[in-house]
Amino acid sequence: MASEQPTEGVSVWETLRPDFPVQSLQSDLRTEVLVIGAGVSGALVAQALSAQGRDVAVIDKNAPGDGSTAASTCLLLFEIDNPLTVLVDKIGKEKAARVWQRSFRAMQNLTEKVRALDIDCDYALRDALLLPGKILGPAGLRRECEARAALGLESRIVEREELLREFGIDRPCAILSGNSAEAHPVKLALGVLRRAQAQGAKIFSPVEAASIETGEKYAIVTTSNGHRITADFVVFCCGYQLPEFLSVKRHQIVSTWAAATKPQPQNLWPSKAMIWEAADPYLYIRTTPEGRVLIGGEDEEHNDNARRIKRTPAKLERFRSKLSLLMPQLDFEVDFAWSGAFGSSSTGLPMIGNVPDMPRVCAVLGFGGNGTTYAQIAAEMIANALGGKAEPDIDLFAFGEND
Ligand SMILES: Cc1cc2nc3c(=O)[nH]c(=O)nc-3n(C[C@H](O)[C@H](O)[C@H](O)COP(=O)(O)OP(=O)(O)OC[C@H]3O[C@@H](n4cnc5c(N)ncnc54)[C@H](O)[C@@H]3O)c2cc1C
């Protein structure tokens, strides 16, 4: 049965959103590291750098956790949007292998970090089920599984009978992978930010970075209120909202939609594995602790909020018809429907690293549907770079590689 009035434009996380204590910026500031943006990327970067004992300040023009992070359905996968066998054609075998291995390790590290820091964010380890679609059909999925196995990445083929029995899904086969998780995205970002704060990081909001001057020894960010923040290093973690002064070629913005059904714990599949398709645009599904089904996808390449809002009813209809074909046992009575945007690049990979021609400035940009996994990779890479540790994968996500 269809819901008459889902809460449009409000994500399912809004009802359970924790408060976060911030400071207002009243004067100029000197800091070792300035992180611009307090979404999940800024939070993970700030935590990793403050854990090294660095003096870290974070600014955000909005409340922390209010950007794309608040819209995320928070499927935390090592499986990036570009299947391994597809990425090989885009960037070559050796690099594609390193990207997949790095995202696998990043998920292990994120899980370990959430546990070690005791972040209360409904983090639950889940399997992920990848169904055949237009990008990889059944034969393609089998090749993909073999390619992953050759790299030692945990995945196995599930045949039709098991799919029907365990998920109620009638498809020839699918790939089932471990090392994945789901979480509440805002609790995750704010929980990590709180740990950074406990390690000494200062979080200022609302503070907007309006311009930047860079030099050999430090960079100076001027805020829209005219305060000057001088930092040894500046890290832009602005999500898809690229400031004008960061020129990135071919960076696209993608609009995407999501919905949450009413709680229906009695209808859920036993493993509560997260489900997605090897298609473009793809549909993805996960459950929540209250027994809701989250469904998302239907991406379009634009960043027009009015168009997003206008298209929500049509997108809900698409979700309804796709879900009823895929898992007819589920109800599609929707409580929440929302949309948002994220950055994307020609390879689907993020840009992490030094910004060309801007000494002392690095950025974490262009994250597609795997933003949280890439945010963890970014935090590791930036912490390694500033800590003087070797970072073997710096070339994979360097500016100019994936823009
Ligand atoms: C509907 C939807 C579903 C998604 N589902 C998933 C998913 O299942 N799994 C997944 O991994 N990813 C998913 N994503 C992507 C994920 O949400 C993003 O990649 C991730 O949250 C980006 O985090 P971020 O911190 O980089 O950016 P954001 O969360 O957007 O944070 C950037 C912050 O920078 C601030 N800012 C920007 N410019 C300035 C400035 N000049 N000065 C000061 N502050 C500034 C903004 O106010 C904002 O708070 C989804 C996205 C959407 C929209």
Question: 9 pLDDT band (50/70/90 cuts)?
Answer: confident
The single residue listed with the structure tokens 């390690």 is: 199
pLDDT of the residue at 402: 58
Question: 1 pLDDT band (50/70/90 cuts)?
Answer: very low
pLDDT of the residue at 209: 96
> How far apart are alpha carbons 194 and 184 in whole angstroms?
15
Ligand 1 touching residue 62 (CB < 6 A): yes
- Span of 38-52, 130-144, 204-218, 360-374 with lowest mean pLDDT: 360-374
Better-scored residue on pLDDT, 97 or 243: 97
Question: 155 pLDDT band (50/70/90 cuts)?
Answer: very high
Ligand 1 touching residue 369 (CB < 6 A): yes
Ligand 1 touching residue 361 (CB < 6 A): no
**Which amino acid is residue 178, in one-letter code?**
G
- Span of 8-17, 23-32, 48-57 with lowest mean pLDDT: 8-17
151-157 long-range contacts (CB < 8 A, ≥24 apart) are: 151/84, 151/97, 151/100, 151/101, 152/101, 153/78, 153/84, 153/100, 153/101, 153/104, 153/177, 154/178, 154/179
pLDDT tens, residue by residue, 369-393: 789 999 999 999 999 999 999 999 9
Pairing of strands 209-214, 155-159: unpaired
Q: Which fold has domain 12-71+187-248+347-397?
A: FAD/NAD(P)-binding domain (3.50.50)
> How far apart are alpha carbons 116 and 113 in whole angstroms?
5
pLDDT of the residue at 377: 97
Q: Among the atoms of ligand 1, which is closest to the Cα of residue 367? A: 19
pLDDT tens, residue by residue, 260-279: 999 999 999 999 999 999 99
pLDDT of the residue at 180: 97
Q: Share the mean pLDDT of the chain.
A: 93
Ligand 1 touching residue 71 (CB < 6 A): yes
pLDDT of the residue at 249: 64
The residue-averaged pLDDT of 286-292 equals 97
pLDDT of the residue at 188: 97
**% of the chain surpassing 90 pLDDT:** 82
Ligand 1 touching residue 208 (CB < 6 A): yes
Q: What token pair was written down for 228?
A: 């000057």
Q: How far is the CA of 189 from the centre of ligand 1 (A)?
A: 10
Question: 368 pLDDT band (50/70/90 cuts)?
Answer: confident
The single residue listed with the structure tokens 């935590």 is: 47
pLDDT of the residue at 7: 56
Domain boundaries, the chain: 12-71+187-248+347-397, 252-344
Whether 289 contacts 260, CB under 8 Å: no
- Residue 4 pLDDT exceeds 80: no
pTM (two decimals)? 0.96
The residue-averaged pLDDT of 270-299 equals 95
Pairing of strands 124-131, 274-277: parallel
Question: 2 pLDDT band (50/70/90 cuts)?
Answer: very low
pLDDT of the residue at 403: 54
Whether 41 contacts 239, CB under 8 Å: yes
Q: How far is the CA of 26 from the centre of ligand 1 (A)?
A: 26
- Residue 113 pLDDT exceeds 50: yes
- Residue 238 pLDDT exceeds 80: yes
Ligand 1 touching residue 74 (CB < 6 A): yes
The residue-averaged pLDDT of 28-40 equals 98
pLDDT of the residue at 152: 95
- Span of 17-26, 123-132, 177-186, 245-254 with lowest mean pLDDT: 245-254
Q: What is the DSSP string of 35-95?
A: EE--SHHHHHHHHHHHHTT--EEEE-SS-TT-SHHHH---EE-SS-SS-HHHHHHHH-HHH
> How far apart are alpha carbons 285 and 293 in whole angstroms?
7
pLDDT of the residue at 387: 92
Write down the number of H helices and E strands in the chain: 9, 18
Ligand 1 touching residue 299 (CB < 6 A): no
Q: What token pair was written down for 158?
A: 């599930």
pLDDT tens, residue by residue, 77-93: 999 989 999 999 999 99
Question: 219 pLDDT band (50/70/90 cuts)?
Answer: very high
- Residue 159 pLDDT exceeds 70: yes
pLDDT of the residue at 56: 98
> How far apart are alpha carbons 397 and 391 in whole angstroms?
12
Task: Note the helical H segments in 151-272.
Answer: 160-167, 185-198
Question: 3 pLDDT band (50/70/90 cuts)?
Answer: very low
Question: 253 pLDDT band (50/70/90 cuts)?
Answer: confident
Better-scored residue on pLDDT, 20 or 182: 182
Whether 46 contacts 20, CB under 8 Å: no
Q: How far is the CA of 40 from the centre of ligand 1 (A)?
A: 7
Ligand 1 touching residue 212 (CB < 6 A): no
- Residue 241 pLDDT exceeds 90: no
